[in-house]
Homo-oligomer: A and B are copies of this chain.
Amino acid sequence: MIGLQEVLDGRWAAVRRAAREQLGGTHFVAVPGETMAQARERVSRLLRELPTDPGIASGFPSRYGGRSDPGASVVAAEMLAHLDLSLMVKAGVQWGLFGGAVVALGTERHHDAYLRDIISAELMGCFAMTETGHGSDVQQLRTTCTYDPETQTFDLHTPHEAARKDYIGNAARDGRMAVVFAQLVTGGRRYGVHAWLVPIRDERGRPLPGVTIGDDGPKAGLLGVDNGRLSFDHVRVPRDMLLDRYGQVAPDGTYSSPIENDVRRFFTMLGTLVRGRVVVGGSASAATKSALTIAIRYGEVRRQFAAPGEPREIALNDYLAHQRILGTALATTYALHFAQEELVSALHDIQTSTGPADEHRQRELESRAAGLKAAQTWHATRTIQACREALGGAGYLAENRLPGLKADTDVFTTFEGDNTVLLQLVAKGLLTGYRDAFGSLDGWGRATFVAEQVREMVLERTAARGLIQRLVDAVPGRDEEVALTDRGWHLALFEDRERHLLDGAIRRLRNGAARQKDRPFDIFNDVQDHVLATASAHVDRVVLEAFVAGVDRAGDPEVKALLSKVCDLYALSTIEAHRGWFLEHQRLTPARSKAVTGMVNELLRQLRPQLPTLVDAFGISDEWLNCAALREEPGRQEAMAAHDDELRRPAARVG
Residue of B nearest to A527 (CB): B320
* Cβ contacts under 8 Å, A420 to chain B: 321
Within 8 A of B (CB), among A305-358: 305-310, 314, 318-321, 324
**Within the complex, what minimum Cβ distance (angstroms) separates A601 from chain B?**
7
Q: A166-B393, A308-B445, A593-B584 are in contact. Are A32 and B136 (CB under 8 A)?
A: no
**Within the complex, what minimum Cβ distance (angstroms) separates A307 from chain B?**
4
The answer to whether B218 touches A526 (Cβ under 8 A) is no
* Cβ contacts under 8 Å, A381 to chain B: 385
Interface flag for A217 (CB, 8 Å): yes
The answer to whether A319 touches B166 (Cβ under 8 A) is no
Partner of A396, one of B399, B414, B448: B414
Bound Cα distance from A420 to B418, whole angstroms: 32
Partner of A314, one of B36, B144, B521, B635: B521
Partner of A414, one of B33, B389, B410, B519: B389
**Within the complex, what minimum Cβ distance (angstroms) separates A30 from chain B?**
12
Interface flag for A185 (CB, 8 Å): yes
The answer to whether A636 touches B132 (Cβ under 8 A) is yes
* Cβ contacts under 8 Å, A395 to chain B: 414
Residue of B nearest to A130 (CB): B393
**Within the complex, what minimum Cβ distance (angstroms) separates A191 from chain B?**
11
* Cβ contacts under 8 Å, A305 to chain B: 136-137, 442-446
Residue of B nearest to A399 (CB): B217
**Within the complex, what minimum Cβ distance (angstroms) separates A281 from chain B?**
16
Interface flag for A163 (CB, 8 Å): yes
**Within the complex, what minimum Cβ distance (angstroms) separates A115 from chain B?**
29
**Within the complex, what minimum Cβ distance (angstroms) separates A301 from chain B?**
11
**Within the complex, what minimum Cβ distance (angstroms) separates A416 from chain B?**
11
* Cβ contacts under 8 Å, A163 to chain B: 640, 643
Interface flag for A304 (CB, 8 Å): yes
Which one of A154-162, A195-203, A269-277 contacts B? A154-162
Interface flag for A188 (CB, 8 Å): yes
Partner of A188, one of B166, B219, B521, B655: B655
- Listed residue (A309, A310, A318) with the most chain B CB atoms within 10 angstroms of its CB: A309
Number of copies: 2
Interface flag for A62 (CB, 8 Å): no
The answer to whether A307 touches B188 (Cβ under 8 A) is no
Q: A137-B305, A321-B532, A403-B220 are in contact. Are A520 and B310 (CB under 8 A)?
A: yes
Partner of A446, one of B159, B308, B442, B447: B308
Interface flag for A525 (CB, 8 Å): yes
The answer to whether A529 touches B321 (Cβ under 8 A) is yes
**Within the complex, what minimum Cβ distance (angstroms) separates A169 from chain B?**
11
Within 8 A of B (CB), among A390-439: 392-393, 395-399, 402-403, 406-407, 410-411, 413-415, 418-420
Interface flag for A555 (CB, 8 Å): no
**Within the complex, what minimum Cβ distance (angstroms) separates A631 from chain B?**
12
* Cβ contacts under 8 Å, A586 to chain B: 590
Besides A135-B393, A221-B403, A576-B580, 16 other A-B contacts (C-beta < 8 A): A32-B218, A140-B306, A142-B643, A144-B654, A162-B636, A219-B396, A219-B403, A220-B396, A305-B443, A308-B447, A320-B528, A321-B420, A321-B532, A385-B410, A395-B414, A579-B580
Pairs of residues from A and B, 4 with the lowest C-beta to C-beta distance, nearest first: A33-B218, A220-B403, A162-B636, A308-B447
Pull 18 A–B residue pairs with CB atoms less than 8 Å apart, ordered by A.
A33-B36, A135-B392, A142-B644, A185-B654, A188-B655, A217-B397, A306-B446, A307-B520, A309-B520, A310-B519, A314-B521, A321-B529, A392-B418, A393-B415, A396-B415, A403-B407, A579-B580, A580-B593
